[in-house]
Amino acid sequence: MTNQTTPNLNVAELLTRYLERQTESASLGLGFADLGEATPYDAASIQPVEPRQAWKDAIAVAPFVQTPQTAWDVPPAWPTLVAQQEPSVAIAFGFGNYPQIVRHIHPMLSGEPIALRQVTTPAVPNPELIAWSGQAKTDAARLLAAGVLRLARHFDPAAELLAQVHDSAWLAARDNEAAALAWHRGDTEKALSMWLALEPCPAVLFNRGMALLFLGRTADAVEPLDDAVRVLPETSAWHHLASLYLTLARAG
């Protein structure tokens, strides 16, 4: 039976809609990056990550860490940063991160989780990003800038911004970001202890389970990941990544 609520679009109409979306995304600073003749580090034939969707998921943590409603400004170099990201497997749920970084499933299915923790790689050169982060004048802007800097592996400037967040409305977000920063710097045991000390919320539950999983404590990872899957909306990409991690934990 044909779904009467879904229009029957031909190829030309679908292409028109796609082009309209890409044009709108470009006007918002969320179009695909033009890397010229550069060859991506990850040269496998996979679908490139759409900067617009990545941005949506990169700020999805906000309502889960009890932050006030705010408008989030797109970093000027966001499409380039997305295009330059190398695949990873152990991603913290925080500002700047997005689930599409986990692009390769096979390594997680064929190896021990403890061996899959990412190795810290050099910072991504991005003068525009550094200049943008220096303009953060509110706690909300500092949290976002710190997360994006962490994604680009500019860890020290990210830590400096987090140290400037003092408003009580943003402390839960700051503490989650501090743990995420420790995790992605490679100080994984410290990150786990920080997440275990925080009040549970969807982001913290996700991060506890993720950290336990990739520190080899798979049995302990099941409960927080199961809780995260139940409370994260099914429309969220973070829900699906939590489900993947939960499957790995149960298999371990």
Count of domains forming the chain: 1
**In a domain? residue 213:** yes
Q: Is residue 12 part of a domain?
A: no
Q: Is residue 139 part of a domain?
A: yes
pLDDT (0 to 100) of residue 228: 98
Q: Which residues contact 43 (CB under 8 A, 6 or more apart)?
A: none
- pLDDT higher than threshold 90 for residue 148: yes
- List Cβ neighbours of 77 (8 Å cut-off, separation of 6 or more): 126, 128, 129, 132
Give the residue among 220, 175, 181 at the shortest CA–CA distance from 199: 175
* Residue 130 domain-assigned (yes or no): yes
pLDDT in tens, 50-94: 999 999 999 999 999 877 888 899 998 899 899 988 888 999 999
pLDDT at 65: 87
Sign of CA dihedral 177, 126, 89, 214: negative
Instruction: Determine which of 37-46, 99-108, 114-123 has the lowest per-residue pLDDT on average.
Output: 37-46
Using one digit for the tens of pLDDT, what is the confidence trace for 168-205? 999 999 999 999 999 999 999 999 999 999 999 999 99
Residues contacting residue 26 through CB under 8 Å, at least 6 positions apart: none
In a domain, 10, yes or no: no
Virtual torsion, Cα 168, 169, 170, 172, nearest 10 deg: 80
Structural domain boundaries, residue 200: 48-112+125-251
- Is 86 within the bounds of a domain? yes
Residue 42 lies in a domain: no
What CATH number corresponds to the domain at position 241? Answer: 1.25.40
Q: Report how far residue 53's alpha carbon sits from residue 79's, in angstroms, rounded to the nearest whole number.
A: 11
Q: Is residue 180 part of a domain?
A: yes
